[in-house]
Structure 1
Amino acid sequence: MSITIADVAARAGVSKTTVSRVLNGKGELDLRTAERVRAVIAELGYVPSARAVGLARGRTRVVGMLVPSLTWPWMGEVLQGAVDVVESEGYGLLLFTFNRGAESMHQFASQVSSQSFDGLLVIEPEGTLTYIEQLHARGLPVVLIDDRDHRPQFPSVATTNYAGGQSAARHLIELGRHRPLVITGVERFGCTHERLDGFRDTYAEAGIELDPRLVFEGDFTHESGRRGVQHALDQRLDFDAVFAHNDLSAGGAIQAVRETGRNVPNDVSVVGFDDIPYAQHTEPPLTTVHQPMRQMGQAAARMLMGYFGGTPLPEEPQVLPTTLIVRSSTAPKSTPRTSPPAPAGRSAH
């Protein structure tokens, strides 16, 4: 059986509180009492848990992180960024997913009640906002990652979705692509509106109005990319490019276009968003807007670490830039070939 603080207290003839004060150097103690407690600790081989010491000091040295699911394609990068910072500061990370709905929320709430962590990083699962707001109002430091709705009451780290949409549009316009099919993300997400607005505004500045029939609402899945292309084909809508709001749906669009016998990138150029590892392995490799997901996790974790060190949480969101990564899924639009003039004195066939 493991040795507990109660065992140490009983052997030394003192209270558990006295043992805790010896461990944490709190309060004034009789030197002989302190020496006796330390001798018993050494004799019994008692090793206090980091959590027990942290609670005695009023700090667990653990950061909680609440995410919708670990299956999101870029989730690993965000998590790794947060872990890089948290562990370098001597903290642990307690991860909560929202895979089981109410059951997951109940488990998370029980950990909140037991004060299992000092602060919370959140990629907001649906339906949890009100509860997270309550935690924040009660004093739990909360930092949102990828804030999709611009909620100023929370410190947050985001990326330049609007500028990312602009860069995708500029690239396609420069390639002569004037009839893009847009496969958006989920309509209720702020990032979906920003990416579409940046893309549409840039085309408008070039004197090109997007055909509203070529804006298809997707859901960030591979299948929604396929459905978006099929929708345009079913409606007999001509398009020479696809801008998909994430890489998975861009991959689905590439597959659907190629199945029609058309070439990517010559007949239809395709641009995605995120730059997950998958983007390098589509056929052809995907041109996409890179989101600095690992850096977002790092930045959010640094906010919490700074807060623990006495720096107030920032009132303004920290926004990290996106970057267009050009690969082989985009190319200039070719000029239609015309028949050469027939030699003099002969008719053309």
Structure 2
Amino acid sequence: MPITIADVAARAGVSKTTVSRVLNGKGELDASTVARVRLVIDELGYVPSARAVSLARGRTGVIGMLVPSLTWPWIGEVIQGAVDVVESGELGVMLFTCNQGDESMRRFASQVNAKAFDGLLVIEPEGTLDYITELHTGGLPVVLIDDRESRPQFASVATTNRAGGRAAAHHLLETGRRHPVVVTGKLGFGCVTERLEGFAEAFEQAGHPLPAEAVLEGDFSIASGHAAVARAVADGVEFDSVFAHNDLSAAGAMQALREAGIAVPGDVAVVGFDDVECAAVTEPPLTTVHQPLRELGATAARLLTAHLGGEPLPAEPVVIPTDFVVRSSTAPKS
């Protein structure tokens, strides 16, 4: 039988409340009482559960993390960055996904109501921002890992999607490419809007406005990148470069080009976005916009854990810039 707090109280001749106060350093207790309780704890080998101690202190010692899905190719890096920080602070992470839509959100809400965690990190599932804002307004500390141009009413960590799109455009222009096609993600996503606008603005400023037919909607998958570029080839669209809104669709685009006998980068240069692990091992290796994925998660976690330690959350978004990685899928046009 495990030793309980009641066993300690009985042996020491005090109440369970007194034992709890000794364990948590709460209340004014006589020094001899404290010494007696601690001696009994040592004699009996009593080990309080971490959760019991945390609850007694008014904290769970757990950070909640809400994400849309674990199937997104970059999301694991963001989560790992957050987990590294949280666990280094001897806290735990409770992860929630929205794979089952409303049912998933109902389960998440039940844990919110049960106060199962002390604060929340969010990669916003579509359509939940108003609810997350309500949680923040109601007193739950929240940090959003954001991919939109519109910023929330609470702390957030973001990256520079628009600047990333511009960097891709400038690189293609510098290599002599004047006729790109863009394989987007879903057009309703804020990150897609920013990447497309940044890219299009740079080409327009260079005197090469992007025609509407050069924008090919995808869904961030390999299949959508393949289908979009295969369709452009079949339709006779003339292009010398592809800017894909993520690395998976860029890999699909390169596959379609190979199948059509079009050389990369000799005939068509290809640029992706994210710099996930597979980008360095595509054939050829992919030039891409590097998102600071792990750093986004780590920064958000640092802000939240520091806040739980008494520091204020920032009023303005913390922005971590993208970078540009040149590999063999782009080269000067011959």
Using the size of structure 1 for normalisation, the TM-score is 0.91
The residue type equivalent to 1:146 in the other structure is D
Question: What does 1:42-191 correspond to in 2, within 5 Å?
Answer: 42-191=42-191
Deviations 1:275-316 (A, max 9, x none): 001101111100000001111111111111221232211111
The residue type equivalent to 1:78 in the other structure is V
Q: Distance in 2 between matches of 1:326 and 1:274?
A: 13
Q: Distance in 1 between matches of 2:2 and 2:145?
A: 40
Q: Distance in 1 between matches of 2:112 and 2:149?
A: 24
User: For residue 297 of structure 1, what is the aligned residue in structure 2?
Assistant: 297
Q: Where does structure 1 differ by over 4 angstroms across 4 or more consecutive aligned residues? A: none
- Of 61-70 and 171-180, deviating more is 61-70
The residue type equivalent to 1:216 in the other structure is L
The residue type equivalent to 1:193 in the other structure is T
The residue type equivalent to 2:278 in the other structure is Y
Q: How many angstroms does 1:152 deviate by?
A: 3.1
The residue type equivalent to 1:226 in the other structure is H
User: For residue 217 of structure 1, what is the aligned residue in structure 2?
Assistant: 217
Deviations 1:238-266 (A, max 9, x none): 11110000000000000011100111111
Q: Distance in 2 between matches of 1:2 and 1:229?
A: 65
The residue type equivalent to 1:22 in the other structure is V
The residue type equivalent to 1:56 in the other structure is A
Q: Distance in 1 between matches of 2:253 and 2:125?
A: 27
1:166 aligned counterpart, secondary structure? helix
Q: Which runs of 5 or more residues in structure 2 are unaligned?
A: none
- Of 302-311 and 256-265, deviating more is 302-311
Matched, 1:4 2:4: yes
Q: How many angstroms does 1:223 deviate by?
A: 0.7
Q: How many angstroms does 1:128 deviate by?
A: 2.7
Q: Distance in 2 between matches of 1:7 and 1:97?
A: 41
User: For residue 307 of structure 2, what is the aligned residue in structure 1?
Assistant: 307
User: For residue 317 of structure 2, what is the aligned residue in structure 1?
Assistant: 317
The residue type equivalent to 1:237 in the other structure is V
Q: Distance in 2 between matches of 1:107 and 1:11?
A: 42
1:100/1:11 CA distance change after superposition, 3 Å? farther
Question: What does 1:247-262 correspond to in 2, within 5 Å?
Answer: 247-262=247-262
2:72 aligned counterpart, secondary structure? coil
Q: How many angstroms does 1:119 deviate by?
A: 0.9
Q: Is the 8 A contact 1:66 1:124 kept in 2?
A: yes
- Of 67-76 and 294-303, deviating more is 67-76
Q: Is the 8 A contact 1:152 1:316 kept in 2?
A: no
Aligned length: 334
Q: Is the 8 A contact 2:63 2:120 kept in 1?
A: yes
Q: Which runs of 5 or more residues in structure 1 are unaligned?
A: 335-349
2:188 aligned counterpart, secondary structure? coil
Q: Distance in 1 between matches of 2:220 and 2:200?
A: 19
The residue type equivalent to 1:35 in the other structure is A
The residue type equivalent to 2:293 in the other structure is M
1:258 aligned counterpart, secondary structure? helix
Q: Distance in 2 between matches of 1:301 and 1:226?
A: 36
Q: RMSD in angstroms over aligned alpha carbons? A: 1.7
Q: Is the 8 A contact 1:24 1:57 kept in 2?
A: yes
Q: Distance in 2 between matches of 1:22 and 1:79?
A: 36
1:324 aligned counterpart, secondary structure? strand
Q: How many angstroms does 1:39 deviate by?
A: 3.2
The residue type equivalent to 2:52 in the other structure is A
1:269/1:80 CA distance change after superposition, 3 Å? same
1:242 aligned counterpart, secondary structure? strand
1:28 aligned counterpart, secondary structure? coil
Q: Distance in 1 between matches of 2:107 and 2:10?
A: 34
Q: Is the 8 A contact 1:247 1:276 kept in 2?
A: yes
The residue type equivalent to 2:261 in the other structure is G
Q: Is the 8 A contact 1:62 1:93 kept in 2?
A: yes
Q: How many angstroms does 1:11 deviate by?
A: 4.1
Q: Is the 8 A contact 1:242 1:269 kept in 2?
A: yes
| Identity level (%) | 68
User: For residue 196 of structure 2, what is the aligned residue in structure 1?
Assistant: 196
Q: Distance in 2 between matches of 1:222 and 1:71?
A: 13
